[in-house]
Amino acid sequence: MEIELLKRLVSIRSPFGEEGDISRFIASFLEERGFKVETLPVDGFGEDVIAYLSGRKTTVVLNGHMDTVNPSPGWTRNPWGELDGDRFYGLGSADMKAGLAALMSAFIELAELPKRERPEVIFTAVSDEEGYSRGTWELIKSGKLDAADLVLVAEPTNERLMLGARGRFVIRVEALGRKAHAARPHLGINAIEELGRFLGSLWRIRLRRHRKLGSGSYCTLHIEGSADGLSVPDRATAIVDRHIVPGEDWERVKAELLGLAERLKLRVELRIEKFERPTPDMLPYVVRENSRFAGAFRRVHAALFGREPEVTYGKSVGDFNYFGTYLGKPTLVYGPIGGNWHSSDEWVSIESVTRVKRVYVEFLKGLV
């Protein structure tokens, strides 16, 4: 079932902001199989889909996102689905319609078991993961997941178990200089040059190191500034990415940037603020490797395949950050093997999708 679902999901166009068709398909598909299904509005996006399966002991949230990025140039395969050997090509095939298909198939398979042999399960398919995680934030705000003991997210991890991820701030830096005639630059303060000097020195900032997540990072994403005629530019702005680890909050990050500016003796006035977003900051989280659920997952994997999964930690962010911080629940991330995420000729391994579905089912059965 998971492979046929994968094909169907990839055939439905669903860039973030246009998830309506795929949301309606998933809701109808589960309703037709007798599940209790709810939808949750996400303003300007496709509705989240929530389905319930009663069981005992542990309550598990299964989560996948329905949206994709827009197709990039350079596709040589059919972006709406093409099978070649073990590889299934298509936009969103790996990120993350394969994981979503595996979750749906596992959810349906669990429903065939007696109630005493399965946990309580809440299946969730959400919008806007590729943008600002609006779907997951609406889901958390709704309170529908408050009783959860665990969240299992099906993002593509190449069959590795991800037990945490760094967080992220996006920062707007504005430099205010002094205008003068460009023929007499010494009479002004060049905002572009001073901001460039600042950005080129970000590597000098000493970053905190976490034993699992490593260090944070800086990356300049955008810079702009211009002169008014033949003038020294008196204003320039930049957008900077700052990935963070536990122990690094906004006040710390802002202070280290201002400290760098002071050490460089910048001649401009520097204004630093977080880039405004419609949802909360994406903060880092970690799940202990020897915790109950991580340990259970590793044992099931070893029983199925003769080895424990490699444990990894995310360098960037996703809906899992919200589950691990704002929902405050242990969040495991595990999904199939694939490649070319967010680029042309994205693909996923068919055999891996089936293996991953099998891991989901056996792991969930083992929680009762």
Question: For the chain, what are the domain ranges?
Answer: 1-165+286-366, 167-274
Cβ-Cβ contacts under 8 Å for 315 (sequence gap 6 or more): 165, 166, 214, 243
pLDDT of 114: 96
Please give the C-alpha separations between residue 16 and each of 21, 74, 109, in angstroms, as whole numbers.
12, 21, 29
337: how many CB neighbours lie within 10 A of its CB? 22
Distance, CA of 322 to CA of 114 (rounded, Å)? 32
CATH of domain 1-165+286-366: 3.40.630.10
- pLDDT mean values, one per 10 residues, the chain (368 residues): 97 96 98 96 96 96 97 95 97 97 98 96 97 97 97 98 98 97 96 97 97 97 94 97 97 97 97 94 97 97 97 97 98 97 96 98 97
CATH architecture of the domain 167-274 equals 2-Layer Sandwich (3.30)
pLDDT of 313: 98
pLDDT of 96: 97
Considering the entire predicted model, what is its pTM?
0.94
Distance, CA of 155 to CA of 318 (rounded, Å)? 9
